[in-house]
Structure 1
Amino acid sequence: MVSQRKIIHIDMDCFFAAVEMRDNPTLANIPLAIGGSRSSRGVIATCNYPARAFGVRSAMPTGQALKLCPQLHLMAGNMEKYKTVSRQIRAIFQRYSDLVEPLSLDEAFIDVSDSSHFGGSATRIAADIRRVILAETGLTASAGVAPNKFLAKIASDENKPDGLFVITPGEVSAFVEKLPLAKIPGVGSKTAERLARLGLTHCKDIANCELAVLVKHFGAMADSLIKRSQGIDERPVRVERQAKSVGVEQTLAVDIDVYQNCVEALSSLWPKLQLRLANQGDKGLQKIGVKLKFSDFRQTTVECQAQTASLEQFLPLLQQAWQRRQQQGVRLVGLQLGFNTPNPGQLCLPFDLQA
């Protein structure tokens, strides 16, 4: 049975680039990207929609972006400015509900199940949040409204940019039937390929698949696939809490056996980790780490103590992890950060200290 909660997912439109375009309107109609530079290796943190028309996207190596769009205007960005705007936006969320779960500087879940605003209409609340954000910050936001977090996040992407999409409880079944499995969070390109080989491409296909087949091929992930394919997600919206660690990782579409390709894969994760790090406020950094999973499903993590984090600091750790591959390809790359805690021995990420 689908929960009757009212969840809103707000996702700012090309947030970093949007802030820069707001502050300098001459940038509004040209291809713009934040991150990287023409003279050094880097990756795109985000880009505006004129840049996306050329195929530029976030997490893309800067060199590749410039090949697609030679006239691309690159900016280093100003994280302190983006954090200030993010705090302003979160303060707006708090006017509607105390249950706000930030995911990064530019997106959050809001549980308005018990809100009295607009007669309890989540749709009207979402519309008003978008209106107030635009009026007070000059920025546009997209919103998804649904009975749970999983569907609300997917809904917010349906009418981007500057859009609103609603999935009512009565529409859940019809919506998920047509939903591609690749859109389920946690289903990367590699898993989507494995699903497709079994003839499973949309959520409706999972309902006709035997449980034993799913468990055989996907193990513990089978339960999540079944629930999400039915539009079920019991996770509550959790207010911001102190994290002991953060990390990002990506399962690759094709196993990597060339070191430089692994460097590029790691570099593409850096903008995502920067967003998560910025979301942690002023916590003291204690450790950084690189995680690799190999073709034979062995995995290794190499870390070192650090009070700051930059892409260049991860590269020696990647080299050490790469040397452990034993001629195997690399199927997953991850970056990890550990923070100072009262009991640092209980970090939830299993670091293998290489001081």
Structure 2
Amino acid sequence: MDSRKIIHVDMDAFYASVEQRDDPKLRGVPVVVAWRGKRSVVCAASYEARKFGVRSAMPAVQAERLCPHAVFVPPDFPRYRAVSKSVRDIFLRHTDLVEPLSLDEAYLDVTENKTGLSSATQVARTIREQIRQEVDLTASAGVAPNKFLAKIASDWRKPDGLFVIKPDEAIAFLTALAVERLPGVGKVTASRLTEVGVRTVGDIRNLNLAVLQNRFGRYGVRLHELARGIDNNRVEPNRPTQSISAEDTFESDVLLNETDDMIRRLAEKVWLASRKETRIARTIVLKLKTAEFSILTRSQTPDSPVSSCDELANIALALREKVRMDPGQRFRLVGVGLSNFRDPMIEPLEDLLFH
């Protein structure tokens, strides 16, 4: 087991909480941060709205059906970025090893901290209190010997919680955990694990490494390690985002012209994830995998960055038309991505994104 001390800090319902903080009339009521419209998706939902089933990346029209009395607020990303910077400044008081994942979460390596606090748990408590006092928001934190466990821990007592996984407690903690809690395990992988009798992380440990590799390739090795609480990934400060993507496998292979709905849903996920980035993507990528497992990609770099989820989806659909294959060819997977990220401080593009 690793000897590092890692904290994962995750702001609670970040965008919605900023809106409630800045407008007293929104406190205690269900708040949905989203543009209105058929193509709009939910950027964030307050905990009051989540009680009705509203979630991030959900179509805004669905959120309105689930919670008709919710207050819809258009997102203000420049303001969220400013608040995020204030939170990050607090992190940097304690360690220079800060790896932001998005505007609302980050990893911190506090194996050695700058403030002389006696434990990683004390550092996490102090950070949460400083965020509360100085930014007037709440954050949840997880403390563990590696990034994988710390991220799971931060979600364990949300909202406004702190959870610690000590090195000698990791295996026992993981044993009964559902496989879906592991990074990279989506519906398809979970289904394939269920086929071999695996439903919990403890079940994975009962499988031979060779069996996992045979069934899942390189990811089988990763599953083998995660089931044992092993994660050697270091906290990497200032690591720039290279790409953001989302992909999904169809339950049964489909024709190219039957991928519209999936491409639009994936575009919504990617667009929402990209709103949390401080840098701006220039290139749109479409990925397709045939029934025979051949992978095709098509990409486009427009003259200006995409300015809406709808535009992203439309470009991805247009890229599909550049695929020249037999009309009867079937596909098992589709993916949408953004890449070629640029720093708006160097290449100012804010007006194009938030007009």
Please confirm whether the aligned pair reaches a TM-score higher than 0.5, indicating the same fold.
yes
Per-residue displacement from partner, 1:310-345 (whole Å, max 9, x unpaired)?
A: 32332333224445485424534222121359xxxx
Query: Partner residue of 1:7?
Result: 6
Query: Partner residue of 1:333?
Result: 335
Query: Partner residue of 2:347?
Result: none
One-letter amino acid of the counterpart of residue 54, structure 2: V
Query: Partner residue of 1:18?
Result: 17
Residue 267 of structure 1 deviates from its aligned partner by 1.9
1:261 equivalent to 2:261? Answer: yes
Do the aligned residues in 1 keep the contact of 2:282 with 2:338 (CA within 8 Å)? Answer: no
Residue 226 of structure 1 deviates from its aligned partner by 0.4
What is the rounded CA distance, in whole Å, between the counterparts of 1:129 and 1:294 in structure 2?
Answer: 48
Query: Partner residue of 2:348?
Result: none
Query: Partner residue of 1:345?
Result: none
One-letter amino acid of the counterpart of residue 221, structure 1: Y
Indicate which of 82, 88, 99 corresponds to 1:101: 99
Query: Partner residue of 1:30?
Result: 29
Indicate which of 158, 161, 174 corresponds to 1:160: 158
Residue 66 of structure 1 deviates from its aligned partner by 1.5
One-letter amino acid of the counterpart of residue 109, structure 1: Y
* Structure-to-structure mapping, 1:1-355, within 5 angstroms: 2-37=1-36, 39-115=37-113, 117=115, 119-243=117-241, 245-252=242-249, 254=251, 257=254, 258-262=258-262, 263-275=264-276, 278-280=277-279, 285-306=281-302, 307-309=304-306, 310-323=308-321, 324=323, 326-339=328-341
What CA RMSD, in Å, does the superposition of the two structures yield over aligned residues?
Answer: 2.1
Percent identical among aligned pairs is 39
Residue range with higher mean Cα deviation, 214-223 or 117-126: 117-126
Residue 182 of structure 1 deviates from its aligned partner by 1.0
**TM-score, normalization: structure 1?**
0.88
What is the rounded CA distance, in whole Å, between the counterparts of 1:129 and 1:236 in structure 2?
Answer: 21
Per-residue displacement from partner, 1:99-138 (whole Å, max 9, x unpaired)?
A: 0000000000000001264543011110110000010011
For the residue of structure 1 that corresponds to 2:142, the secondary structure is strand
Do the aligned residues in 2 keep the contact of 1:247 with 1:335 (CA within 8 Å)? Answer: yes
**TM-score, normalization: structure 2?**
0.88
Residue 294 of structure 1 deviates from its aligned partner by 4.4
Per-residue displacement from partner, 1:2-28 (whole Å, max 9, x unpaired)?
A: 011000000000000000000012112
What are structure 1's unaligned runs of at least 5 residues? 342-355
What are structure 2's unaligned runs of at least 5 residues? 344-355
Do the aligned residues in 1 keep the contact of 2:271 with 2:312 (CA within 8 Å)? Answer: no
One-letter amino acid of the counterpart of residue 18, structure 1: S
One-letter amino acid of the counterpart of residue 261, structure 2: N
What is the rounded CA distance, in whole Å, between the counterparts of 1:32 and 1:296 in structure 2?
Answer: 45
4+ residue runs of structure 1 moved beyond 6 angstroms? none
One-letter amino acid of the counterpart of residue 120, structure 1: S
The count of aligned residue pairs is 333
